[in-house]
Each structure stands twice: as C-alpha cells, then as structure tokens.
Structure 1
Amino acid sequence: MSEPVRVVVADDQALVRGSFGLLVDSSDDLTVVGEAATGAEAVEVARRTLPDVVLMDIRMPELDGIEATKRICAEPRTANVRVLMLTTFDLDAYVYAALRAGASGFLLKDTPPTDLLRGIRIVADGEALLAPRITRRLVAEFVNRPAPSPPSASTLDGVTPREREVLLLVASGLSNTEIAEHLHLSHATVKTHIGRLLSKLAARDRAQLVIAAYENGVVTPRTR
C-alpha cells in the first residue's frame, strides 16, 4: 500500500481548519501533517513538513494565501509542494492571481466534501484542478484585457503545430480524454504532448500551461 498523501491545512479560522482536518483524516489515503493560521505560518509549516499538498485559504493575516503560495512554489526546498487554493470568494482576480502564483488548483469552500478530497488527490498526482467554469472565467478576464503582446520566439520556440493545438485545448478546459477524442489521438500520445509542453514552457503542471497559453497569445477572444 502506498504512503498516504500528506496535507497541510492553512486557514485563519480555527473551526474551518479543524473541520477540513477531520475531513482529510477521515480518508485512509490522506493525512494531515500540519496546520497554519496565517500565510507566514503556512510557508514555515510547508518548509518544515514538506507536504504533498497545502490547502490554502486566500484571505489570511500577515501574508495572504497568494503571496504564501508564491513563496512556497518559488523556494527550491518546497518547489514540489502542490497548493490547492480555497476561498469563499468566486472572483476572477483571485483565480488568476492564485494560478499565476503557482497554485495547482482552485476550489470554493462550499465544495462538497467528496469533491474536496478528490481535488486533493488530483493535485497530489501532479495534475491541475481547473473546473471548466474556472477556465471560462479566466477566458472572460482575458477577453476584457488588452490584446497580449505577440509571443517571443524564445517562449514558444520548439513548440510544434500539434503541441500548439494540444495547448489550446488544455487552455479551453478539455481533459486528456476529450483532447484525444477531438484530435483523434491515443490517450498516451496526448500525455506525451502535454509532457513535452510542460518541459518546453517550463510549466509546473497543467494550470501553468493554461497561464502560458493566455500570456503567449495562444488563446485569444478570436479562438473562443
């Protein structure tokens, strides 16, 4: 049997931390290894315990969840720690800022318990947790922004036309299975393309591929 996924719960409300902790520990394949009441504590606990996943509230004292996420993801010691953002505020700015900081997923606090546990597992496996409605919100935000600058040759250098197609579909919220069906490829081939995109674009995970697609002009209002 594999080791359980190690989780840190970061939230400024003790009742919320306790509730999430009990929920996580109720699953045999998940375990809580630390708690934090501030963003600064979340960074310190992540450094000390090296969890697989941090459940991170966005609004916390001392250091907000977005800045804490940025520090965790940027530090070599904790670079492999995945961050799953939790918030009561369904706001576009928070979604984009959290993903830009390096978060691997984004969920609302009213997410059903089973979906939260599933989300932790997905993020721990190295995937991104981006619901289609979250992707749609990101697209809507970019539609209302000035057109992105043309991508530099170095940013997309080496990305093949097929990989660019795959990148566009990832940014559109499609799963690997859906991409395979859309492009008439095998599931294994799609995984290979995504692996190469992660390497070429220096992206942590699928969430970062979405950001890269937006910021490099692969996704524009005309492509939606």
Structure 2
Amino acid sequence: MKKPLYTLIILSLFALACKETKKPETTAPEDELPILEQLAYANGYGNWNKVQELKFTFNVDRDTTHFERSWIWKPKSNEVTALTAQDTITYNRSRITDSLAYKADGNFINDKYWLLAPINILWDKNSISTKHSVDVEAPLSKKNMQKLTVVYNAEGGYTPGDAYDFYFEDDLKVQEWVFRRANQEEPSMITTWEDYTEMGGLQLAQMHKNKDGSFKLYFTGLEASTKD
C-alpha cells in the first residue's frame, strides 16, 4: 500500500529537522561563562598551560621605605625559588617539609595572588563564595563598575575567612580592589590595578597604589617562558 504524498513530505521534513539538531557542540560564548571564568580568561587563563616558568620581583614602597623579594616559579613541576637579600630557598610546593619552606610559601602565596588574582580565584573556586553585582561605585575612582566579592572559607589556607572586592568594567580587567581581613565590613586596604602588560599571553597589572600614593606595590623583572 502506497503512503500518501503529503505523508512522505512530512517524514522527509522530520528527517531533515533531526539532522539539523545534530550539529557539533560549540564552546559557550564568553558572556555565558560563570563570572570567575570570564575574569580568568580575560586575563590570560587560556594561555596558562603554556607557561613553563614565571619570574617576578615583588616590590613595596611605603612612605620612604622599600622592600622586595624575587621569585622563580615552574608551574609544571610546582618548584619555587625564593630570592631575598638574606637567602635563596628552592622548594617544591607539593612537598613542603620544613619551617623555612613553609614560611617562604606563605610569602609566595601572597605575592603571586597580587600578580595573578583574577586567575587565582578560579583556581580557588572550591574554597570561596562569591557575589556579583553589575553597577556599583568603585571606592577610588567613584566610577560605576561591576563588582565581584570573593570570600574565602573559614578553614584552611594561610588567611582563612578573608574577603576581596574586585571592581572592573566590561573588558573584565580589574581596576581597583578592596581587601577585607576576616570579611570585616571596613576595608583593610584599597588599591588600584594599573599599568597592565602582556607577558606569555597573561594580562598582568604591574602597579597597585593607594589613594594618596604613599603605598605602592608593584612588579619588576617580569619574565614568562612558554611552550606551545
């Protein structure tokens, strides 16, 4: 028994529709990613796997005093070398066995956080809670920006319970941030994020200043060795 022509047409259209629904999956547009991933990728996270070695010097100028320490970090092996005026220490972050290495690692965590915070918060996603607001006055510039508040869990890590407020515009580059010790309401420190440079595919803010410029935290000697 022959099927009516209109039935065959409907079946043919249904088959075509099924084929169209089997398109290859595509990566979600950047603005559909969670805000932690948006920030990280805007600051070079997509290139992180290429970084073989990262060198940087952490500097602090406070009024008339100057302090600095330098680091060589090999992320693939997790080897860190700390260089100060007093000593040089090399250790592996996965096998910290003595008090000197433990102290050095606490300093390293602090310094690399200032350098890589937009990426670091993605690495820490299982240890934080977040709140994203889209139209908030930034504390220094008084411009309306997006704000991401990150609060660390109360247990574990070097500074449990601390909070950070990141302020940024649509380019997702942090322009200001607030550090709030133990998630207190009042700021412990407010600084800029400025003088961005591209290094090994990473977007790095080299300068952080408070409102009157009496405190400056900045990076020199930035080098990134990469491999495709």
TM bucket normalised to smaller: under 0.3
* TM-score between the two structures when normalised by the length of structure 1: 0.28
Which is richer in helix? 1
Higher-RCO chain (CA-CA 8 Å, sequence separation at least 6): 2
Which is richer in strand? 2
* TM-score between the two structures when normalised by the length of structure 2: 0.27
